[in-house]
Structure 1
Amino acid sequence: MISRLFSFVLMISGYFAFKYRYRILNNLLSQQTIRRLLIRSSMRMPFVRRQILNNFVFTDRR
């Protein structure tokens, strides 16, 4: 009984998280600490760092 209730609550919360995903993401990224942590952790990944630095340094300025 508890596992069914837990599954139901999990499905409902997943539905609302999907429905309001951009609002949730905007609220999370509006906090400076979380934004810094996300940027810091993503810049540790070589692929992401290379892509960002290549786009930043080697942009075609017309």
Structure 2
Amino acid sequence: MLVAVSDFEAVNGKGVSGRVDGDRVLAGNAAMQADARIDTSAFAGHAPAEMIEALRTATR
């Protein structure tokens, strides 16, 4: 089932935001999360090994 998205905005170099069923939704990088004052400290050091290896491969 598809839901309606409103107030969609692509933020260059950071991610996207919008409203889904009236709730604000953000999908973006650390800079976008910091701008939105989202505390991500609880996730520090918990990235899956597969993600870390993919990032290493992509930056070589």
TM-score category by the smaller chain? Answer: 0.3 to 0.5
Query: Structure 1 or 2: larger helix share?
Result: 1
Q: Larger C-alpha radius of gyration, 1 or 2?
A: 1
Query: Structure 1 or 2: larger strand share?
Result: 2
TM norm structure 1: 0.35
